[in-house]
Amino acid sequence: MDPALKILRETFGYTEFRGFQEEVIEHVRGGEHALVLMPTGGGKSLCYQIPGLLRTGVTLVVSPLIALMQDQVQALRKRGIAAACLNSSQPEGEARDVQHALRAHELKFLYLAPERLVQRHFQSILKALYDRRQVALFAIDECHCIAEWGHDFRPEYRQLTVLADRYPEVPRIAVTATADVHTRREICESLKLGEARCFVSSFDRPNLHYCATERKAVVPQVENFLQRHCGQGGIVYCPTRRMVESLAMRLQTSGWPCLLYHAGLSPVVRERAQNQFLQSSEWVMIATTAFGMGVDKPDIRFVIHLASPRSLEGYYQETGRAGRDGRVSEVLLLHHPEDLSLFRDRGAGTGNSLHRRVLQRKCEAVESFIRTRRCRRQVLLEYFGESHEGNCGTCNVCNSAYRDWSGSFRRLSTVLFAPSQR
């Protein structure tokens, strides 16, 4: 049996590779660089984990969030793989133990933030490993964070040029769920991937059904939609922390099993809410977009947005958290004209002229998706450079049965927030 397939079956428990996973694995295993775009739930992590197990030495995985690192490390350890992470939440003694294990060649995977990787002390450890040919691979997870024009921009990712400059013989693989053509180009330039092969999976998620409609009466609209999903879990994304707390209180009062999550809560409270959400299929998570990255939950049945997204990249990634098990899931966007006006006003005073033009282009793409009279799936896929033949039949433009997902109301007096209050 091919070694990669053997690991897939015996270590990870899957019978066959999906899509171009096997092709990526063989490419990187052979020492080549790669950029991989694969939808949420498509198996991106296997594209670097299996080559990491097949190559000599440790694989260093650059990751943007502590929770994401911890989830990945826990999953690998359950499979008997030596993995650890270095992050700011660790006690000093624990961090020392991890570095000792790294020096002693006891780790196959180390997850860390870009800030930690470029520290002088860590670079000295890494250089010693490199000189002994004990660095197998560099994996840059959520690599869209490197792109200034993408979503979730993290300037610390810019420092990762050090990988190409100091460790040219180590293959680099950058992975993400979403990036338009401009963002892909910026990723390759920033990581000095040169002529690296770009593997782009289809962005189409046929099991996701789309609806976008005007926001009128938030609580009734949300409750009407939730009636479609009684006993099922999902995410409701709110534009502000205040909105999260207010909506959660209203829904809890009505008997819905709600959790809440935003960056203003303590780490302990956020972790408790996330764990509850992961352990049961019935919770409705009310959250800002701070929630979701790295959440490995296959049975999320719906995602609701209560304001227009700032970009289609962010919207695609957030809605992509639904239906990772391949079953039909529904995504609802409640928008208001003032949402986009607010983004335009903010963008007008931001950065240089190029930055403003990019923000304007992203805002126009969101507006096109919202206002289109064409198939929404077609519009979304075209943004990512992909075509879709014919109407999908599963969005509220193509299918009249989807047009009342959020309900029709005689009374519009129950408004949770006015656009001007945000």
Domain shared by 9 and 125, yes or no: yes
Tens-digit pLDDT profile for residues 251-283: 999 999 999 999 899 988 998 998 899 999 999
How far, in Å, CA of 275 to CA of 267, rounded? 12
Residue 412, pLDDT score: 29
How far, in Å, CA of 302 to CA of 324, rounded? 11
Domain shared by 187 and 221, yes or no: no
Query: 408: which 2 tokens?
Result: 């029709």
Tens-digit pLDDT profile for residues 73-105: 999 999 999 999 998 888 889 999 999 999 999
Residue 109, pLDDT score: 98
Residue 261, pLDDT score: 95
Tens-digit pLDDT profile for residues 32-72: 999 999 887 778 999 999 999 999 999 999 998 887 888 89
Residue 292, pLDDT score: 78
Inform me whether the pLDDT recorded for 408 exceeds 70. no
Tens-digit pLDDT profile for residues 351-405: 667 777 878 888 899 999 999 999 999 999 999 888 888 899 999 999 887 766 6
Domain shared by 105 and 241, yes or no: no
Q: Which of 181, 200, 219 is the last residue of a domain?
A: 200
| Mean pLDDT (whole number) for 294-313 | 90
More confident residue, 346 or 226: 226
Inform me whether the pLDDT recorded for 294 exceeds 90. no
**Residue 405 · residue 396 · CB < 8 Å:** yes
Inform me whether the pLDDT recorded for 416 exceeds 70. no
How far, in Å, CA of 280 to CA of 262, rounded? 20
Q: Which of 138, 169, 200 is the last residue of a domain?
A: 200
More confident residue, 146 or 367: 367
How far, in Å, CA of 262 to CA of 265, rounded? 6
Share of the chain above pLDDT 70, in %: 91
Residue 369: which CATH number?
Answer: 3.40.50.300
Inform me whether the pLDDT recorded for 286 exceeds 80. yes
Domain shared by 260 and 124, yes or no: no
Domain shared by 152 and 196, yes or no: yes
Strands 172-176, 234-237: pairing is: unpaired
Query: 189: which 2 tokens?
Result: 């330039």
Tens-digit pLDDT profile for residues 205-232: 999 999 999 998 899 999 999 998 999 9
| Mean pLDDT (whole number) for 319-346 | 86
Domain shared by 292 and 152, yes or no: no
Which residues does 293 contact at the CB level (< 8 Å), separation at least 6? 64, 65, 67, 68, 142, 152
Tens-digit pLDDT profile for residues 150-200: 667 777 888 899 999 999 999 999 999 888 888 888 899 989 998 889 999
How far, in Å, CA of 201 to CA of 184, rounded? 13
Residue 89, pLDDT score: 82
CA 19 to chain centre: 19
**Confidence band for 315, pLDDT divided at 50, 70 and 90:** very high
Which residues does 168 contact at the CB level (< 8 Å), separation at least 6? none
Domain shared by 172 and 106, yes or no: yes
Residue 76, pLDDT score: 96
Residue 177, pLDDT score: 85
Domain shared by 242 and 160, yes or no: no
Residue 410, pLDDT score: 32
Share of the chain above pLDDT 90, in %: 61
| Lowest-confidence region among 9-23, 111-125, 332-346 | 332-346
Q: Which of 148, 167, 200 is the last residue of a domain?
A: 200
Residue 411, pLDDT score: 33
**Confidence band for 415, pLDDT divided at 50, 70 and 90:** very low
Domain shared by 107 and 235, yes or no: no
Inform me whether the pLDDT recorded for 344 exceeds 80. no
At position 184, the amino acid (one-letter code) is R
Average pLDDT over all residues of the chain: 88
Inform me whether the pLDDT recorded for 140 exceeds 90. yes
Domain shared by 268 and 191, yes or no: no
More confident residue, 399 or 133: 133
Number of domains in the chain: 2
**Residue 38 · residue 201 · CB < 8 Å:** yes
Q: Give the range of the structural domain holding residue 277, as residue numbers without chain letter.
A: 208-421
Inform me whether the pLDDT recorded for 27 exceeds 90. yes
Domain shared by 310 and 248, yes or no: yes
Domain shared by 172 and 71, yes or no: yes
